[in-house]
Amino acid sequence: MNMRTSIEIPDYLFKKLKIKVVEKNTTMKAYLINLVERELETTSLSNPEVNKNPIPKSLRNKGKEYKNSIINKMREDLSI
């Protein structure tokens, strides 16, 4: 099963990302999937206290907030 999502990123970041995708001769989708996979492999999902990259103040409290029970359910589903 594949999930779809939309995100907003600053224009300057999108431009840098697009340049990197062209340099790597890949697609945006493939490049982003690779980035996410590498990040998830190098960080601990089993320890919710670990937060190497906190959410910037400008983005806090925007969008849907997940309760611990929902996060724990997601962890169970992934056997983490």
| pLDDT one-digit tens code per residue, 5-53 | 899 999 999 999 999 999 999 999 999 999 999 998 887 666 555 555 5
Taking CA 54 as the corner, what is the angle to CA 17 and CA 12, rounded to the nearest 5 degrees?
25
Q: Where in the sequence is the domain holding 68, given as residue range(s)?
A: 11-77
How many whole angstroms separate alpha carbon 66 and alpha carbon 76?
15
For residue 1, being part of any structural domain is answered with no
How many whole angstroms separate alpha carbon 21 and alpha carbon 15?
10
For residue 55, being part of any structural domain is answered with yes
For residue 46, being part of any structural domain is answered with yes
For residue 28, being part of any structural domain is answered with yes
Structural domain total, the chain: 1
For residue 2, being part of any structural domain is answered with no
pLDDT value of position 78: 74
For residue 33, being part of any structural domain is answered with yes
For residue 35, being part of any structural domain is answered with yes
Q: Whole-structure pTM over 0.85, yes or no?
A: no
pLDDT range class, residue 56, cuts 50, 70, 90? low
Q: CA dist 80 to 36, 71, 77, Å?
A: 17, 11, 8
